[in-house]
A and B are shown apart, each in its own frame.
Chain A
Amino acid sequence: MKRAMIRIILLCMLAATLTGCAGGNSDSSTTAPKPVTITIWHDKEDAVADVLQKALDALAPDIAVKLEKKAGLTEALKMVGNDKNAAPDMYWFAHDKLGVYAEMGILAPIGDFIADEELADYIPMTLRAGMYKGTRYQMPLYFETLLFLYNRKYMKDADVPATTEALYGYMKRKTHGGHYGFVEQHSTAYYSAGWLHAFGTEVLNAQGQPHLDDENVINALTYHLKFVELMPDETEYATVNTLFREGMAHATLAGPWLVPTLREAGIDVGVAPMPVVDETGLPLAPYSGVQGLHVLKVHAREKKDAIMKVLTALLEPQIGTDLALVSACAPANGKCYGDERITSDAAGMEMRRTAETAVPMPNLPEMDVMWTVLGNLLTDVNMRGQDVAEAAAQAQRQAAQLIEAMR
């Protein structure tokens, strides 16, 4: 019925559209007899993509792997996800969207290609991240977490605060005259979630229920507020990172991708463990993002062998190591940590340690709306001065309403 209706609408008005445009050379379909072409969509930087491309070129001539950079990848997948002509065979992205795609029914389980035993050496957190409703949908490659970075010019190694109260003391002493003791993207869900986790709470539970009006959330936000008061008024990426890069901030929470830029800017950057919240005894536990490959269902059956070979090739620690190094992240494969190049990388090793406490970003579809709701809550509390409990209750209502609206 509905298909017929689409056809009717389309046929009526669109068949004629062809006449409106002269010359349509649609050579877009990817018909490759042999070798089998495996198209992988990604949104990575060229240097990172090149490493994977080179590694997978070894599968030629049987398999031609084509890495295609796709901007707006997450939205595009929703549209073309099961379109035989337009969908890629795999995509390379963080794990946090896989719940949405799994529910949409466009993902093929990794278990169809790679047995779980093959992944025995992988860091457990990276494996957990790829599971949705008991099925694995991601082949992890590497992961990132936020790091506590400090500028050695101002903050000596011995001064690095082990606890949040020590950090607060440092901030009070050093924040003046345009300098900041510590800066972070204080009103941004991804960057501030670590504070909530340190109070033993989470944004969304495993059943996809929000609890933003939870007592621990309120405590965490209230406690966080005194830090925010000593930070700049802006929460966005550019401001916060520029302050640190220009030596105006002594310490920050930032992703590993910032480290090369900082070194280039001549900052003697140190990486330290996350401070522990005195009240709870738990360290700030940032979100972790696991980057990996996901297989789309559309061509999964006909290209099964080729996909299997691609995924198997990625088990090789060498590839994990190379990818981690070029992307400034930490390898997911435990075997990579035998490599001296990895163990000598301070940021990577700190992430390896943080992986023990870091919380993988929830991959539930519900999380899609939580980023916005939590961001709003943080903004209301930190930048608008709203009462914490009131704002939390309001955010909880909004979250519940939006999650309700998803069904």
Chain B
Amino acid sequence: MTKRVRDSIGYSALNLFMAGACFLALLPVLYALSVSLSATNSLLSANFSLISRTVTFRHYAAVFTEKPVLVWFANSVTLAVFTVLISLAVAVPAAYVFSRRKFAGRRVILRILILLYSFPQVLSMLAIYKLLSTLGLINSRPGLIIVYTGTMAVFGLWNMKGYFDTIPMEIEEAARMDGCGDVRLVTRIVMPLAKPSIIVTAAMVLVFVWNEYLFAVTFLTGESTYTLAAGLYTLQATEMAGSWPVFAAASLLISLPILIIFFLAQRHIVSGLTAGGVKG
């Protein structure tokens, strides 16, 4: 067999395998999709099949007409944008110095942070409430942004510090020898090299904020202040009359922006190192 034939057989098998993996990953999602499109008002049904026989989009329409989804969407976007930006703004410099400077207390802080991170956050609710009420930030977005940024700060610091560690110092030193200033060094050399890690961190923060409902529900009051996840949660929590298809439709709709962002971000998670010309 020639290499080409073997390759093409191999890739066909691989594609098949990937398609299978995606199907598995999407199974519950397909289920939700099917429920959201079905004309009968049911999450469960004896007559259920993955491919609905009677397709209707009225549940999707209902999401938009019956609930202030666009307001929730705007709230989610605001929170997400601010949280991601602030998270990166505080975590990138911190991760950089924690990676590059061998200052006193560095190791201890890193080790303690990861231990503290293991404290279950549900148990922190009361304390965080005390914190926000002292600052007068109950029922306000800045309050939530502080909570979200702080929650993800340990992750951001650790994750990006780890990545910076893998970037050889030589690149920076060489640039410096070439007369590269500090600003240029960071914006032209370090940041591009760290791009994959920055994007992964941003994605993590984004997903966290987008899907977080516990803090949002506890610290915000009134439907007009909710985020999408919080709104969706109330849709389900007060579920008495039963509108599962609307709930399923809403769940899928709120995942969509994240997926689009993932898809667009794919090509940016390219290798920083190989782009920089140094082999890891």
A residues at B contact (CB < 8 Å): 6, 10, 14, 17-18, 20-29, 41, 43-45, 68-72, 75-76, 79-80, 83, 85-86, 178, 238-239, 241-242, 245-246, 248, 255, 257-258, 260-261, 264-265
Max chain A CB contacts within 10 Å: which of B135, B214, B230? B135
Q: Is the CB of B242 within 8 A of A261?
A: yes
In the assembled complex, the CB of B148 is this many whole angstroms from the nearest CB of chain A, namely 10
Q: Pick 28 A–B contacts, CB within 8 A, sort by A.
A: A10-B131, A18-B135, A20-B86, A22-B86, A23-B142, A24-B137, A26-B140, A26-B142, A28-B136, A28-B137, A28-B138, A28-B140, A68-B222, A69-B223, A72-B218, A75-B125, A79-B129, A80-B133, A85-B133, A239-B44, A246-B45, A246-B46, A246-B47, A257-B241, A258-B242, A261-B41, A261-B241, A264-B41
Please pick, from B45, B133, B237, the residue contacting A242 in the complex, using a CB distance under 8 A: B45
In the assembled complex, the CB of B65 is this many whole angstroms from the nearest CB of chain A, namely 12
Nearest 8 A/B pairs, CB to CB: A24-B142, A71-B234, A28-B139, A257-B240, A71-B217, A242-B44, A86-B138, A79-B129
Residues of chain B with a CB closer than 8 A to A79's CB: 125-126, 129, 218
Q: Is the CB of A242 within 8 A of B130?
A: no
Residues of chain B with a CB closer than 8 A to A14's CB: 131, 134-135
Question: Hey, what's the 0/1 contact readout for B210-234 against A, CB within 8 Å counting as 1?
Answer: 0000100110011100000010011
Chain B residue, CB-CB nearest to A7: B134
B26 at the interface (CB under 8 A from A): no
Q: Is the CB of A26 within 8 A of B44?
A: no
Please, how many angstroms separate the alpha-carbon atoms of A79 and B128 in the complex?
10
Please, how many angstroms separate the alpha-carbon atoms of A23 and B137 in the complex?
12
Residues of chain B with a CB closer than 8 A to A23's CB: 142
B149 at the interface (CB under 8 A from A): yes
Please pick, from B40, B140, B233, the residue contacting A24 in the complex, using a CB distance under 8 A: B140
Number of interface residues of B (CB under 8 A): 44
Max chain B CB contacts within 10 Å: which of A17, A27, A68, A257? A17
Q: Is the CB of A70 within 8 A of B221?
A: yes
Please, how many angstroms separate the alpha-carbon atoms of A241 and B46 in the complex?
12
Please, how many angstroms separate the alpha-carbon atoms of A255 and B230 in the complex?
26
Q: Is the CB of A72 within 8 A of B217?
A: yes
Q: Is the CB of B131 within 8 A of A71?
A: no
B159 at the interface (CB under 8 A from A): no
In the assembled complex, the CB of B209 is this many whole angstroms from the nearest CB of chain A, namely 14
Q: Is the CB of B221 within 8 A of A238?
A: no
Please, how many angstroms separate the alpha-carbon atoms of A29 and B40 in the complex?
45
Please, how many angstroms separate the alpha-carbon atoms of A239 and B137 in the complex?
41
Please, how many angstroms separate the alpha-carbon atoms of A88 and B158 in the complex?
41
Please, how many angstroms separate the alpha-carbon atoms of A75 and B237 in the complex?
14
Beyond A86-B133, A265-B41, 9 extra complex contacts between A and B, CB < 8 Å:
A17-B146, A24-B137, A45-B240, A45-B241, A76-B221, A238-B244, A246-B47, A255-B240, A258-B240
Please pick, from A69, A85, A241, A246, the residue contacting B242 in the complex, using a CB distance under 8 A: A241
- B145-189: which residues lie under 8 A (CB-CB) from chain A? 145-146, 149-150
In the assembled complex, the CB of B212 is this many whole angstroms from the nearest CB of chain A, namely 13
Please, how many angstroms separate the alpha-carbon atoms of A44 and B223 in the complex?
12
Please, how many angstroms separate the alpha-carbon atoms of A44 and B239 in the complex?
10
Given the known interface contacts A10-B134, A260-B241, A261-B242, the answer about A21 and B42 at a Cβ–Cβ threshold of 8 Å is no
Please, how many angstroms separate the alpha-carbon atoms of A14 and B131 in the complex?
7
Residues of chain B with a CB closer than 8 A to A45's CB: 238, 240-241
Q: Is the CB of B136 within 8 A of A245?
A: no
Residues of chain B with a CB closer than 8 A to A241's CB: 242
Chain B residue, CB-CB nearest to A239: B44
Please, how many angstroms separate the alpha-carbon atoms of A139 and B201 in the complex?
51
Please, how many angstroms separate the alpha-carbon atoms of A286 and B175 in the complex?
78
Residues of chain A with a CB closer than 8 A to B238's CB: 43-45, 71
Chain B residue, CB-CB nearest to A264: B41
Residues of chain B with a CB closer than 8 A to A41's CB: 221
In the assembled complex, the CB of B132 is this many whole angstroms from the nearest CB of chain A, namely 9
Max chain A CB contacts within 10 Å: which of B41, B131, B140, B242? B242
Q: Is the CB of B44 within 8 A of A20?
A: no
Please, how many angstroms separate the alpha-carbon atoms of A86 and B135 in the complex?
12
